[in-house]
Amino acid sequence: MSHKNTSNHDTLAQKLDAIRAELLPFAEDMCSLGSQLKQQFKSEQFIDVHDDTTAIATALANLRNQVKGLNLELIQGASDQAHETHISQSRLRHDLRTPLNAVKGYSEMLLESLGQHGESVSHSLLLDLLSKTNTVLETISTSVVFPELESDEVVKTHEHSEMSSVAVLGKILVVDDDKSNLTVLSRLLEQQGHEVKCANSGPEALLAIRSGDFDLVLLDMLMPGMNGYEVLSIIKNDSDIAHLPVIVISALDEMEGVINCIEAGADDYLPKPFNPTLLQARIGTGIERKRLRDESTALMERMETELQEARRAQLNLVPHDFPSVSNAQPIAVHAHVQPAREVGGDFYDFFYVGENHLWFLVADVSDKGVAAGMFMARASSLVRLIPMQYFKQFGRMLMPHEVLNDINNELCQFNPEMAFITLLSGRIHIQTGDVLIANAGHSAALEYSANVPVHSLETWRGHPLGIKPDSEYRSMQTTLHPNHGLFLYTDGVTDALSNEEEYFSDDRLFESLQRLKKHSPALVVQTVKEALRVFTRDAEQFDDITLLAIQRTQHTAITVKEVLLPNTLEACRVARQELIGLQAAHGFSDTVCEDMCLCADEIISNNANFGYSDQREHENLLRLSVDSTQVVLEFIDDGSFFDPQSAPIIQPQHDLATAKAGGLGIKFVRHLTDELHYKRVDGKNHTVLVKHLKHEA
């Protein structure tokens, strides 16, 4: 290049002359030693070492040629920039050492092979060659002036500490552009029991890595085209293969490059020429490390899957269907639970005991995570089963504090970890609005409505459940007026932290409830959830969050009429007359009346035609009610189970004359009603048909 500095140029030329002068006698001498060696073992007896002696002779011839041909052409890249000079010098040293390393490797293997031929074979030539090889290698290190980057001490310490490593076997990819290096390394590794594949260049190595499952890569630093550092960078930046351990191969004086490689993600380095013990130790460590990494990744994945399954199972323990409001059930409920971790300790529940009592509760298990989740599962089934079983077995509606007494005594058993639950549980009479609430160490419920400020319903507060047997609980009585609601929550709501480490607090909770203009439970839950989301933004959720809202809906001029019906088709006529009477009194449209008549006829005739296998007379109940918004018809019969929501539809192509229950009429009912509810209670079908009244503006 034109900007080359002439004096620098001359200095380099002189240096090369000196090196040539120093090395050439050695090279010539060793070359002849190589020929003699080949001669010594040329007989058939030594056929197994012919390849090695040939390789040694070839490597020595290469060495001699390289030393002879030492001139400036070799170091074209040299320039006045120190960095580039450094690189071309290290390239030169690399080129000189490559045949020497090959000679050393082959000679060591040859020594080993000759050992099998018995003691009569003379090793003197070979030992002479090895000692000269070492001398020349040392000469290269001292003759070419380089700043020392790292002392030999460090390497020696490594050697000692890793001597005792136990052999760990694996599949190894060796990457080197020099064929003799590849052969020496792969033979050494194969002797140690590893499975070895070779690659001549960076691109070839990457191809092999992407298509094979290697345990480790041995990567030469100096290669034409893509060098070792570039290959390493590509590996470590590709998430599919970044986990693969890479050991960089380099001469000791390439330490700066080694450090770059370690920083770029290489796991270790190996100095040339190779020491078999060091090689085994470093490779063993690398493979072991990959095994551990693979195992921990697999373990993490398995635990993740199990946690997700546990989360699903746990979320299935609480109801997610929120019943729609009707005159028969003028109470709306909505709830939400959001565990902080995969599995949580919070839960809510609501369920009917008998026709008129809705039970509801919110609970918080001490601690979070899997252990809390299991305690939660134990408690959640008790809290449901106890009031239901009492009612079913003894016809008695328990008071909430009685349920708490029973659960507490049960949870106090087999609880060495002293896990506990705070719980607020109540029941509401859905027609009268009478409420009973009992509290086991939980936050009080809040009452909200359009008319009165949000306030908490103070209750006598007992101990959390699971701590003290026979602990005392009390039920507090109140009345929930129409359009008033109750809000229950766990402390994960008020203790939620913002990015600024502020608590959401009671004040913010009261405020977000107070601001509401409409109070349907779904909206209340949604609003508080949204307020929390805005408040916490991306702050980590520390505690489980649970919300539950209940509202009594307003009754407007309800007319309720109950009629007893026989289990014959005569019942259809009675139902029709009642509907016509209701229409006369309330003035809803002919369409509504006709649709209800049709639907009532289908449901009731179904019961009369298909509901009974005995010949006895049965008495069923029809409850009709109407307010300004809807007409509701509730039919309660003791016929066989029939759920109009899931009954099969029969196509008219089938013979309708012999059709069973279900069939065509049910299709009409599903289509013509605005709401259709069904439940089977105590051996009776409860079928509720609702038709909304649409008012003209």
Asked whether position 585 contacts other proteins by CB under 8 A, the answer is no
Asked whether position 586 contacts other proteins by CB under 8 A, the answer is no
Range list of β-strands (E), 463-544? 475-479, 485-489
Asked whether position 558 contacts other proteins by CB under 8 A, the answer is no
| Distance, CA of 654 to CA of 648 (rounded, Å) | 13
Shortest Cβ 679–other proteins spacing (Å): 24
Select the residue interacting with other proteins from 605, 643, 684, 693 (CB under 8 A): 605
Q: Beta 619-626 vs 559-566: how paired, if at all?
A: antiparallel
342: three-class secondary structure by DSSP: coil
| Distance, CA of 269 to CA of 254 (rounded, Å) | 11
CB burial readout 41-52, b (16+ within 10 A) else e = beeeebeebeeb
Select the residue interacting with other proteins from 517, 657, 682, 695 (CB under 8 A): 657
Q: Which amino acid is present at 394? A: F
Asked whether position 626 contacts other proteins by CB under 8 A, the answer is no
Asked whether position 563 contacts other proteins by CB under 8 A, the answer is no
Asked whether position 462 contacts other proteins by CB under 8 A, the answer is no
Select the residue interacting with other proteins from 436, 593, 688, 689 (CB under 8 A): 593
Shortest Cβ 573–other proteins spacing (Å): 5
Taking Cα atoms as reference points, which of 214, 263, 270, 269 lies closest to residue 243? 214
Shorter beta-carbon distance to other proteins: residue 199 or 603: 603
Asked whether position 667 contacts other proteins by CB under 8 A, the answer is yes
**Are residues 132 and 71 in contact, defined by beta-carbon separation less than 8 angstroms?**
no
Select the residue interacting with other proteins from 349, 601, 634, 637 (CB under 8 A): 601
Select the residue interacting with other proteins from 72, 569, 585, 681 (CB under 8 A): 569
Asked whether position 580 contacts other proteins by CB under 8 A, the answer is yes
Asked whether position 151 contacts other proteins by CB under 8 A, the answer is no
Select the residue interacting with other proteins from 175, 604, 632, 636 (CB under 8 A): 604
**Are residues 456 and 450 in contact, defined by beta-carbon separation less than 8 angstroms?**
no
- Stated as kind and residue range, the H or E segment containing 357 is strand 357-365
| Distance, CA of 285 to CA of 269 (rounded, Å) | 12
Asked whether position 668 contacts other proteins by CB under 8 A, the answer is yes
Q: Which amino acid is present at 694? A: K
Select the residue interacting with other proteins from 125, 412, 664, 693 (CB under 8 A): 664
Asked whether position 671 contacts other proteins by CB under 8 A, the answer is yes
**Are residues 484 and 449 in contact, defined by beta-carbon separation less than 8 angstroms?**
yes
| Distance, CA of 42 to CA of 63 (rounded, Å) | 22
Asked whether position 591 contacts other proteins by CB under 8 A, the answer is yes
Shortest Cβ 689–other proteins spacing (Å): 14
Residues touching other proteins: how many (CB under 8 A)? 32
Asked whether position 589 contacts other proteins by CB under 8 A, the answer is no
Select the residue interacting with other proteins from 67, 175, 663, 688 (CB under 8 A): 663
- Using CB under 8 A, which of the segments 224-232, 486-494, 612-620, 655-663 binds other proteins? 655-663
Asked whether position 598 contacts other proteins by CB under 8 A, the answer is yes
Asked whether position 639 contacts other proteins by CB under 8 A, the answer is no
Treating both helix axes as pointing N-terminal to C-terminal, what angle do 82-115 and 179-191 enclose, rounded to 10 degrees? Answer: 50
Shorter beta-carbon distance to other proteins: residue 285 or 583: 583
Q: Beta 171-175 vs 216-220: how paired, if at all?
A: parallel
Residues in CB range of 311: below 8 A, 6 or more apart: 339, 342, 343
Asked whether position 579 contacts other proteins by CB under 8 A, the answer is yes
Q: Which residues pair with 447 in a beta bridge?
A: 455, 486
Structure token pair of residue 388 = 């239901």
Taking Cα atoms as reference points, which of 410, 407, 395 lies closest to residue 438? 407
Residues that bind other proteins (CB under 8 A): 569-570, 572-573, 576, 579-580, 583, 590-591, 593-595, 597-598, 601-602, 604-605, 608, 651-653, 656-657, 659, 663-665, 667-668, 671
